[in-house]
Amino acid sequence: QQQVKQSPQSLIVQKGGISIINCAYENTAFDYFPWYQQFPGKGPALLIAIRPDVSEKKEGRFTISFNKSAKQFSLHIMDSQPGDSATYFCAAKVGGQNFVFGPGTRLSVLP
C-alpha cells in the first residue's frame, strides 16, 4: 500500500513535444505529491508538487494533473527541450513520514 507506481520506464520525445509521465498510488493517506528531476551524478531537485485538494498545478512548462478518485497523478512537460533530458521521480508523502518514491522515468528529448 506504500508503493507508488510510475510509467513509462523510459520516454523519448522530440524537441518541442509534450512529455507525459504517470504515477499511481494506493495509500489514500498520502497528502503531498512532488515530482523530482535528477541529472546523472546529482541529487534529485524538486520540480513541482501538489496537494490532493487541487486538481492541477502549473509552473512554467511543467504541470501536475491530479485525480484523487483514481489515485493517479501525472507530470506534463510542455515544449520539451533537450535540457529536460533527465530522470524524473514521482513521490508521495504523509505528514511526518518518509517519502515514497516511484521507480523513475528516464526522459530523452531529441534535438
Q: Are 84 and 107 in contact (CB under 8 A)?
A: yes
Closest approach of other proteins to the CB of residue 29, in Å: 13
Question: Is 95 an interacting residue with respect to other proteins (CB under 8 A)?
Answer: yes
In terms of DSSP bridges, do strands 56-59 and 100-101 run parallel, antiparallel, or are they unpaired? unpaired
Question: Is 49 an interacting residue with respect to other proteins (CB under 8 A)?
Answer: yes
Closest approach of other proteins to the CB of residue 16, in Å: 27
- Which of 20-28, 33-41, 57-65, 68-76 is the region at the interface with other proteins (rule: CB under 8 A)? 33-41
Which amino acid is it at 74? S
CB-wise, 4 or 13, nearer to other proteins? 4
3-state SS record for 39-105 = CCCCCCEEEEEECCCCCEEEECCEEEEEECCCCEEEEEECCCCHHHCEEEEEEEECCCCCCEECCCE
Query: Which of 36, 66, 73, 88 lies at the binding interface for other proteins (CB under 8 A)?
Result: 36
C-alpha cell at 106: 528516464
- Which of 15-23, 38-46, 61-69, 73-81 is the region at the interface with other proteins (rule: CB under 8 A)? 38-46
Residues that bind other proteins (CB under 8 A): 32, 34, 36, 41-46, 49, 89, 93, 95-96, 98-99, 101-104, 106
